[in-house]
């Protein structure tokens, strides 16, 4: 099969790689119909050597696909099912999984991150034609029938990572009905954070980013205000808008969907209460 291989910083290529196979009776093999590229993949692309990624490992942890084969102990999914996996595979049975803390699963790990997590044995990335999924009953979710056709993959794919990440951020920020929320960053997580903030009842959702076309997407997903913070006075303009919306108090919550040193510094300067 073909798969995306990391060779060195700045060097990845699609190459012929070994087909995955069932190694444990709880495994499934999934034929990938659509895969995403994450910001985390860019960290590996740029600095994979520093993180311990060796040449030949395969990237990708966001995918949707069809079950191609299952081990003898797999019960919840069968060959032919359309499935999506979160980026983190998990057993679904340990104490942490029972608490819903799947990313703390005592035997879990992340696809395409074997340098970090060796759990699950040989688990390669999802930017390949097929993936070995450990603990398939815990890891895979069935895609509901109305969305099971391949033409809906772009709708389903965000569930693998970016929607869950956005939801986690918004839930963790404790957003309540009527709040003003600042979302920093107009990438996929930031855009979906606007959507989720609306579900939590935020009255004002201010999206700050650098791309006018993505601002339009943010508005369609629920941002009530957008501000393109490109330029020296970008943070100042965002701060002025927030002050106006909150009578100088600043937003109740901020979702930082960039998390660079710059975004954190600007966030602090922009969202602090202002004197009026």
State the residues that interact with Zn ion by CB under 5 A: 38, 40, 90-91, 94, 97, 105, 161
**Minimum separation from the CB atom of position 211 to Zn ion (A):** 20
**Nearer Cβ to Zn ion (46/268):** 46
**Nearer Cβ to Zn ion (71/158):** 158
**Minimum separation from the CB atom of position 151 to Zn ion (A):** 23
Q: How many other C-beta atoms lie within 10 A of the C-beta of residue 184?
A: 25
CB 16 within 8 A of CB 2: yes
CA distances from 111 to 77, 101, 115 (A): 19, 17, 10
**Nearer Cβ to Zn ion (118/268):** 118
Give the residue among 271, 224, 226 at the shortest CA–CA distance from 252.
Answer: 271
Alpha helix positions (H), 212-276: 212-221, 234-246, 261-271
CB 257 within 8 A of CB 237: no
Alpha helix positions (H), 70-129: 95-98
Alpha helix positions (H), 63-185: 95-98, 136-139, 153-156, 162-172
**Nearer Cβ to Zn ion (97/194):** 97
Q: What is the three-class DSSP state of 108?
A: coil
**Minimum separation from the CB atom of position 118 to Zn ion (A):** 16
Which residue of this chain has its Cβ atom nearest to Zn ion in the complex? 38
CA angle 87, 91, 94 (to 5 degrees): 125
CA distance 157 to 160: 6
Give the residue among 126, 141, 122, 148 at the shortest CA–CA distance from 58.
Answer: 126
**Nearer Cβ to Zn ion (94/264):** 94
First to last CA, the chain: 63
**Minimum separation from the CB atom of position 103 to Zn ion (A):** 10
**Minimum separation from the CB atom of position 102 to Zn ion (A):** 7
Q: Which two tokens stand for residue 5?
A: 């291989």
Question: What single DSSP character describes residue 165?
Answer: H
**Nearer Cβ to Zn ion (169/202):** 169
**Nearer Cβ to Zn ion (90/229):** 90
**Minimum separation from the CB atom of position 188 to Zn ion (A):** 9
**Minimum separation from the CB atom of position 80 to Zn ion (A):** 26
**Minimum separation from the CB atom of position 110 to Zn ion (A):** 9
**Nearer Cβ to Zn ion (193/242):** 193
CA distance 233 to 28: 52
């Amino acid at each position: 099969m073909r798969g995306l291989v990391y060779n060195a910083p700045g060097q990845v290529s699609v190459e012929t790689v070994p087909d995955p196979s069932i190694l444990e009776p709880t495994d499934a093999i999934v034929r990938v119909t659509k895969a995403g590229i994450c910001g985390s993949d860019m960290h590996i692309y740029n600095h994979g050597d520093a993180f311990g990624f060796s040449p030949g490992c395969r990237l990708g942890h966001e995918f949707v696909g069809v079950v191609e084969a299952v081990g003898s102990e797999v019960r919840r999914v069968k060959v032919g099912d359309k499935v999506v996996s979160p980026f983190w595979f998990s057993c679904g049975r340990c104490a942490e999984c029972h608490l819903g803390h799947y990313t703390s699963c005592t035997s879990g790990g992340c696809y395409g991150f074997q340098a970090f997590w060796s759990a699950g044995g040989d688990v390669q990335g999802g930017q390949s034609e097929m993936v070995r999924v450990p603990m398939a009953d815990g890891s895979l979710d069935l895609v509901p029938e109305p969305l099971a056709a391949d033409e809906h993959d772009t709708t389903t794919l965000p569930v693998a990572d970016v929607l869950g990440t956005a939801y986690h951020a918004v839930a963790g920020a404790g957003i309540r009905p009527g709040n003003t929320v600042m979302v920093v960053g107009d990438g996929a997580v930031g855009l979906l954070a606007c959507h989720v903030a609306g579900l939590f009842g935020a009255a004002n959702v201010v999206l700050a980013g650098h791309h006018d076309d993505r601002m339009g997407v943010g508005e369609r997903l629920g941002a009530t205000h957008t501000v393109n913070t490109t330029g020296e006075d970008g943070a100042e303009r965002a701060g002025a808008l927030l002050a106006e919306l909150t009578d100088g108090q600043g937003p109740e919550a901020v979702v930082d969907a960039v998390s660079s040193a710059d975004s954190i510094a600007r966030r602090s300067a922009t969202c602090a209460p202002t004197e009026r």
